[in-house]
Every structure is written in structure tokens, then in C-alpha cells.
Amino acid sequence: MVQHQRYHQLKKGFQVIRRGEEEDDEESQTKIQNQTLVLDLGNTTTYFKRTKPKLLPLLFFFTFVSCILIFLPRLVSLNSLGMENVGLYFYGEGKYPLCSSVAYGSICCDRSSIRSDICFMNGDVRTNSNSSSIFVYSPKEEDDLDLVHEKVKPYTRKWETSTMDTIDELDLVVKKKGSEVSNPCEVQHSVPAIVFSTGGYTGNVYHEFNDGLIPLYITSQHLNKNVVFVMLEYHEWWMTKYGDIISRLSKYPPIDFSKDKRTHCFPEVIVGLRIHDELTIDPSMMQGNKSIRDFHNVLDRAYWPRIQGLILKEEAEARLSSPPASSVLKEVVEEETDQEIEKRMITRPKLVIISRNGSRAITNQHLLVSLAEEIGFDVKVLRPDRTSELAKIYRVLNSSDVMIGVHGAAMTHFLFMKPKTVFIQVIPLGTDWAAETYYGEPSRKLGLEYIGYNILPRESSLYSKYNNDDPVLRDPTSVNAKGWQFTKKIYLDGQNVSLDLKRFRKRLVRAFDYTISKRD
């Protein structure tokens, strides 16, 4: 969290808005957004004050024509060379990244991002897992050829030195024509490859989506599934868990780089993944303006075949165990009044509580369930763990109207909710910044109605451990500033929540009213 905090302070300044406490906070946030336009260009952020237009329309016209004259020839030349897929990413009008084109038989690395390095190889590209190398052979034959040698770790947490120390490093080398005879092709591929690592924080659902799956979509979607994924630190369980998603991003089986000792040959290779921000996608940096909603659609296509199979199985089992429909209908008609029938036909909004065991658990969860049911929700408690089948979790959340949970990795499952549904995040002491950055802001970008509930000190189990004037209760920011070990020990691992249900009821009523009004 602390390393993320430093990154975001550098990137766009440090500002935390406590959401869900007062409506004035949202109003003031809107005013701030109306006053300042933030333009994020790579590693730098520029702030522009909004002012009334002073330039003549004619100037805009000449500017537009100039852009066309400058960039259209570049696009035409790239396409005519058949290089449109080699590192070419559309970053909106007039935005071109480094390595937007790569000469045949060469390597280009873009190391401008604070989050990840990404390298592009074009030509006769061959793998060599024994030496942890990937070679591209130059068409040049000169003896004095200036060979290129790049090193890269294909993982998206470049700024975390301790994490990157655990990631396998690859050597990317340009070799002279003729030397390929010592590394003959054993498997020839006609489509590009993307090489990435499933190491690092793999095993944590937040990191699996944020550091892996979403960047993989960002990097590969322009290839329309015509790509082979080459994985470092390959895990069978990871493929079992996420194979449905991988199959929607690539038509081909993935390659375990370390165990598959054969020489694989590709026309193009991308080593590393692009990443935009926490659990989100910047449409201005994507071909076709793809967004996090498009990634959500990938999840939809990945999980619904399995979900439909589960539904058919349940329906078949229900038919076998139920009496004939005619007798059931007769009993219902005889027993129910008109008002009861009308009430039965009104579907109660579905609310899912993501339950935690151990730290950051809601200790009065049973009372929360009763309160939500009293308000009018159909409540389900979900307890996901590492062994939970994601299709089943997706089925529950994708058909729900409201999701509630305490800040933590499991909040990543907001990605499974449909846009225009409600996400209520309970925010324990000391987690304000992380809750907003990792889940609050990204959920709004997905189109969810986000409600943050910042607990009061008396709702925390820390209230009974520390004096009222202790910084742990009074000034969590100062405690977090001491380092990650303090944040983790005190606020993440040592805190549970007992909700003030009278206070929390307002959020539930707000979610209920929103859901009903959306139906109307």
C-alpha cells in the first residue's frame, strides 16, 4: 500500500475524499473536477486550468488539417509495410508511444513507464529457454553489425524492487544472419507471441487481475485472439482458475517457457505487458477506445457457457424432485390471496455480502443480514476463497443488485457486477486511501454506483485496544507514514468491524431506492 501511495503521489498528487459520509463531499469533488483538467502523459502529469476559449474557429481548423498532414503518411507507411501489429497502439488522436514501429530484425524497448517495461521484437524471432533468451536474427550480414542486447523482467510492478527481484529475467538479443543455424526452429508459429510472468503476487485475486489479466487484455486485444501467450513461472492452478478468460484472449494453447525446451519461432514477439492504472483501462490509450467495460464483456463471454451448464443441471434436478406442475399450481391458487400473489411477483433486489474470516471481518454480520432483509433485500452471504470456482462467484454477483464488503482483495470481485448496480465498500480505519484508489475509483469507471462507508473509531475493534487520543484512532495517516509493516500489522491484520447499523442503514436505504428507481 505504501509503495502504491508513493507512486500515486508522484503521478497525480495525493488527495483523499471521504465518500459516503456527507453529500457535500461529492459536491465539492465535482467542483474540483470542473475547475481542473488533469492530463496524464506517461510518467508526468500536467494540470491545466479550464478557461473560456479564446482562439478563433479558423485556428482549430488549421490545427486539425496540420495533424492530418503530419500523421496520416506515417500510418499509411506502417500499414503498407505490414507492420500494423508490431507495437502499434493507438493512444487517441495525436498520441503515439515509443516503439510504435519496429524495423525488421530489431528490438525496441519502451521503458518510459514507472509501472512496467515492454519490448518489441520483429522478424525471425526464436526462443531459447535453456539460456532464458529470445533471439531475433538481423537480415544484415556485416561483420561489424552493432548487436543489441536488452534485459527485461516481464511483470507490471517495476517500481517494487523487492517484488521484481523474484521475477525471472529474459535476455533479448539481436543476432547476425547465419547464426540461426545453431538455434533451428522446432515449432513454427504464424502469429505473434506475448511473453509475461505469472509470478510476483500471483495467488492474490487483486494482483491476479490488476497485475496480470487486465494488462494482458490491454496488450493483446488489438491482435483479436491471434496471439500465443508465453508464460514465465507457469502455474497449472492459475490456468485452471483463469483458463476460461485466457481462451477468450487467445485461440492457441499457452506455452510454459521454462519447461518447454523446444525452439519456438514467431514473426513478432512482445515481452512484457502494458498497464494503465488500478483495475482499469484508459480508453484514450486503446485501439477502438476499449474500456474496462469491454474487459467486463470478456468475463461475460468467458463464464456464461459454464453458468448456463450449471443452470441446466439445476433445472433437470428440480424437475426430478418436484411434483407435477398442475398440482403445484392448484395448491398455490388455493392458498394465496390476490395481494399475496402480487407480492410474490415483485422480485426483491438481490444483495450479496462478501464475508471475510479473520481480520477485517464484520462481527455483527448476522444483524446486517436481518437489517437488509427488513429493508427489502433478498440477501446472500458469499465466502470466496482461493479454491472457489470463479464462474459460480460470477453467476451470483452478475445477477445481483448490490454488493457489500470490507476493504480487501476480495473487493476485486466488483468487476463481476453489471454496470449501474451498487457497490458498498466498508472502509476500516487506516485504509481510506487504498479503498478509494484500488476499488472506489475503478468501480465508478466500470459504471457502478459506488458508496464508501468510512467507519468511526467506535466501530473498530481497535477502539477497545487503544486510548481515545492514540494516533492509531485519531490520526491513522501518521501511523501509515511509519511504513507498510505498521499499516499491515495494525489496520489490515489487527482490525475487525462492528457496524453501527443505525448509521449504516442510510447506505442500505440509499442502495435500495437507487435499485428500485433504476427498475422503474
Extents of the domains making up the chain: 106-275, 346-519
What is the structure's pLDDT at 294? Answer: 98
What is the structure's pLDDT at 267? Answer: 97
List b or e across 457-492, with b for residues whose CB sees 16 or more CB atoms inside 10 angstroms.
eebbbbbeeeeeeeebbeebeebbeeeeebbeebbb
What is the structure's pLDDT at 178? Answer: 78
CATH of 346-519, one of 3.40.50, 3.10.28, 1.10.10, 3.40.1350: 3.40.50
Which residues of the chain are under the pLDDT cut of 70? 1-97, 141-146, 323-346
| Biggest CA-to-CA distance, the chain | 95
The residues, ordered by sequence, that sit 6+ positions from 418 with a Cβ below 8 Å of its Cβ are 398
> What whole-number distance in Å separates Cα of residue 474 and Cα of residue 457?
8
What is the structure's pLDDT at 456? Answer: 98
Given its phi and psi angles, is residue 367 left (phi above 0), alpha (psi -120 to 50 degrees) or beta?
alpha
Count other C-beta atoms under 10 Å from residue 271's C-beta. 25
What is the structure's pLDDT at 191? Answer: 98
> What whole-number distance in Å separates Cα of residue 303 and Cα of residue 377?
26
Mind listing the pLDDT tens digit for each residue in 68-107? 444 443 333 333 333 333 444 333 333 556 888 899 999 9
Mind listing the pLDDT tens digit for each residue in 435-469? 999 999 999 999 999 999 999 999 999 999 999 99
What is the structure's pLDDT at 339? Answer: 60
What is the structure's pLDDT at 58? Answer: 54
The residues, ordered by sequence, that sit 6+ positions from 518 with a Cβ below 8 Å of its Cβ are 420
pTM for the full predicted model: 0.80
- HSE-up of residue 332 (Cα within 13 Å, Cβ side): 12
What are the grid coordinates assigned to 242, written together? Answer: 483463469
Ordered alpha helix ranges (H), 376-457:
390-398, 432-435, 441-446
> What whole-number distance in Å separates Cα of residue 218 and Cα of residue 249?
10
CB 196 within 8 A of CB 232: yes
